[in-house]
């Protein structure tokens, strides 16, 4: 599962890089900025799912929110891969373990 995820993340990163007109360093920066763009799409979807924009009404649903959350996650994983090309999976696993160690366990 984890390997499949990182294979897909690597494939996305390679696909984006193949058509990018900018340097690898700029791709790294832009990929990080892209996280904010995707986070904005999550916010738009939540507002649309709750119908709180009177101009747009119920323009989204919670499936849209789910899709946008997944976009944020994938975008961040691609960014992590660009920042840590040699060990992104290990870096992420290590960070997740640190979070798990701080997280109270259910009794
Ligand atoms: Mg999106």
90 lies in a domain?
Answer: yes
Tell me, yes or no, whether 107 lies in a domain.
no
Q: Using one digit for the tens of pLDDT, what is the confidence trace for 32-72?
A: 999 999 999 999 999 999 999 999 999 999 999 999 999 99
DSSP annotation of 84 reads S
CA proximity to 68, closest of 93, 41, 89: 41
Distance 68 CA to ligand 1 centre (A): 5
**pLDDT given at position 57:** 97
94 falls within a domain: yes
Q: 1: pLDDT confidence band, cut at 50, 70 and 90?
A: low
Query: How many domains, the chain?
Result: 1
Q: Tell me how far apart the terminal alpha carbons of the chain are, to the nearest angstrom.
A: 28
pTM to 2 decimals?
Answer: 0.92
- Tell me the CB-side half-sphere exposure of residue 91, using CA atoms within 13 A: 14
Q: Which domain holds residue 60?
A: 2-102
CA dist., res. 25 & res. 1, Å (int): 29
Mean pLDDT of the chain: 96
11 CA distance to ligand 1 middle (Å): 18
């Amino acid at each position: 599962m984890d390997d499949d995820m990182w294979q897909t993340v690597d494939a996305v990163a390679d696909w984006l890089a193949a058509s990018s007109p900018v340097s690898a360093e700029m791709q790294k920066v832009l990929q990080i900025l892209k996280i904010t763009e995707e986070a904005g799409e999550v916010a738009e979807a939540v507002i649309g799912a709750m119908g709180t924009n009177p101009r747009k009404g119920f323009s989204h649903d919670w499936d849209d929110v789910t899709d946008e959350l997944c976009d944020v996650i994938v975008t961040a994983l691609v960014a992590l891969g660009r920042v840590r090309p040699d060990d992104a999976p290990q870096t992420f696993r290590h960070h997740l373990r640190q979070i798990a160690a701080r997280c109270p366990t259910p009794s």
